[in-house]
Amino acid sequence: MGVIKNFRLPDNYLYISHLDDIGEGFQFWILPFSPDTIADTANSSFQETNALGRSAPVYTFSNAGPRTVQIEIRLHRDMMDDANAGISNVRLKDGEDYIESLIHALQSIAVPKYNLTNKAVEPPLVALRIGKQIFVKGVLTSGIGITYSKPIMHNDKYAQVSLSIVISEVDPYDATTVYKNGSFRGEVKTLREGAYKYWGIEEKGA
């Protein structure tokens, strides 16, 4: 495959790191949608101590996080096929489309993967990017909810599928980094290098 110049990864995508049935060790899907709402929550915890002679307790910082991003993805089979054709590195099985493959992949990250070579358990990690507003890398802490909706297509599958997920962030960040990057923290070029290498793409720009 020749080098494609001035190409940038689409703004909305989902990246799964521990599925290596294609050999690259990751899978990614282009998501042709912008969700109506995204819940991006950052938690903070303080230890409360009541001291003599004070009208208010002493609060000692305990921990922050995890940050969670909750999103409901509404997809149509035809839109997913068109968006991922020639872009996604997912190898579809006979009779399978991109939505079916995405569902199987998300269901699989509820459990870890056992690497027979080094006898290690590989945790299931995902990364989600929505435009230039939201990026999170972490684990699915709520499981996955799937809702199928009519119409029924010619292949006897529901045309519309809604996926409800909550991703909890795993990388730690300090106040300076969060102030600088906000909800887009953690999105780095190295995360995309495998995808660009697969495509034979020469990336231009951030």
Domain ranges of the chain: 4-203
In the structure, what pLDDT confidence band is assigned to residue 80 with cuts at 50, 70 and 90?
confident
The pLDDT of 31-48, averaged and rounded, is 86
**pLDDT exceeds cutoff 80 at 53:** yes
Quick one: which of 8, 16, 142 has its CA closest to 72? 142
In the structure, what pLDDT confidence band is assigned to residue 168 with cuts at 50, 70 and 90?
very high
pLDDT of residue 193: 60
Asked if the bond preceding 66 is cis, omega within 30° of 0, the reply is: yes
**pLDDT exceeds cutoff 50 at 115:** yes
> Residue 22 and residue 24: Cα distance in Å, rounded?
6
**pLDDT exceeds cutoff 70 at 105:** yes
**pLDDT exceeds cutoff 70 at 205:** no
Please, are residues 81 and 157 in contact by the beta-carbon 8 Å criterion?
Answer: no
Q: Identify the residue with better confidence: 15 or 172.
A: 172
Share of the chain above pLDDT 90, in %: 15
pLDDT of residue 40: 93
